[in-house]
Structure 1
Amino acid sequence: MITGLIWWYPTKWTKKAVKDSFTVKWRAKWKRLNIDIHNVIGFYAVLFVLALTLSGIFFSFEWFKKGAYQVLTWKTLSEKQIDSVSDNTVSQGRFAHPEDVVWNKLMMKYDGAFGSISINIPQKSSFAYETTVYFGDGTLLYNRAVNYFDQNTMQVLPPVMQHQQPYEKLSAGEKLFRMNFDIHTGQILGLPTKIMAFFACIIGASMPITGFIIWYNRKWGRSKRKMRETN
């Protein structure tokens, strides 16, 4: 994408160069049309494709994720867990339906102003209830709050990770970091950005094809034309 952007950049910003760089000649012959699709449409899509690419690398390389977090927040991303285990010294069985207690506590805390709630049931006696509250319509993952509850006392416990703080308490860089999944899937602003992400993916996937055609025509297309002209 970077080398393609350099190739797209006009050597001189003349009126013709500007027109050629920003408009597609839809009525041109297929070779010229292919070049315009590669250059012009590729230029318009480069920022979207770059955003999808960089946000996707988060899921593959831990070093990139930590590096991006440090660049955005000037902090080191620590996966060190804060103590959030349940107190085993308290007698068991105080709550017949602890999930209902957790639900009611969250309802009171957020006054029902959320889209959805997920509750993870603890698998061991030392584990706590982990809950995630998603605000808005419940589809945006960045706008969430994570809560932990002692399974014996139902008391609120501190978050496990430093970046699990409520969204409104995060810095601008931390908020952008939290938005990574929603940016990558295109759901950051709902259906419009999902559609934009879809077309950006289609355009990004077409770039190697249109680029290969340009390379092929430049390498062998001219020699074939010369052979036909000679004959």
Structure 2
Amino acid sequence: MSFHATVVTLFPEMFPGGLSHSLTGKALIDGKWTLDTVQVRDYAQDKHHTVDDTPYGGGAGMVMKPDVVHGALEAAVSQGTPGRRMIYLTPRGKPLSQAMVRNYAANDNGLILLCGRYEGVDHRVIEHWQMDEVSIGDYVLTGGELPAQILLDAVVRLLPDVLGNKESLEDESFELGILEYPQYTKPQNWKNKIVPGVLLSGDHQKIANWRQEEAERITRERRPDLWQAFLKSRD
């Protein structure tokens, strides 16, 4: 059984989008994962297909209606295997991390992703379905569709036989708690910038040591939060 993702959205035409290219696209064609969408508007209950209304308590913008979104989520659940994790993409969610991605990829049943629009979704729906609230960063987009694609890209590449090179996964940023070391390829001399000599030495231990030192240096300089967490993990 392949990993099954369902995206609940007002804009199903945005999918698969970038997910149809490169490794994720090939894996989709090969059946290593499947993707479908549910159009939220199909579950509106009036002739105008209204999906939003003004927020209780006042304020700017509109909120997606709980009855409409609930109907769409019920449809998503019915077209997949039981036990799929449900995710609501929102700026107020828990920041997406590589550890979370690994956890989602390990769920053989797959995922259901809800993409909000306007000022978001009535919170009662999120509570009812016990959804994970996930953010891809401290900024606001017009909707959850692009975050959903980012999350799925991160998850799909971890599925069995998608990437193909286990070492590539192990050496990547965040897999070991720190950022990745710099990479180089031919030509050896480019615009008078020379590849570090240790990488040409053929000494695997020296190369491994250099890469670890560089990864630690870059993490200290660019992500002090990651560096402190890394130090704690070694205590």
Give the TM interval when normalised to the shorter protein.
under 0.3
- When normalised by structure 1's length, the TM-score is 0.24
Higher strand share: 2
**Larger Rg, first or second structure (1 or 2):** 1
- When normalised by structure 2's length, the TM-score is 0.23
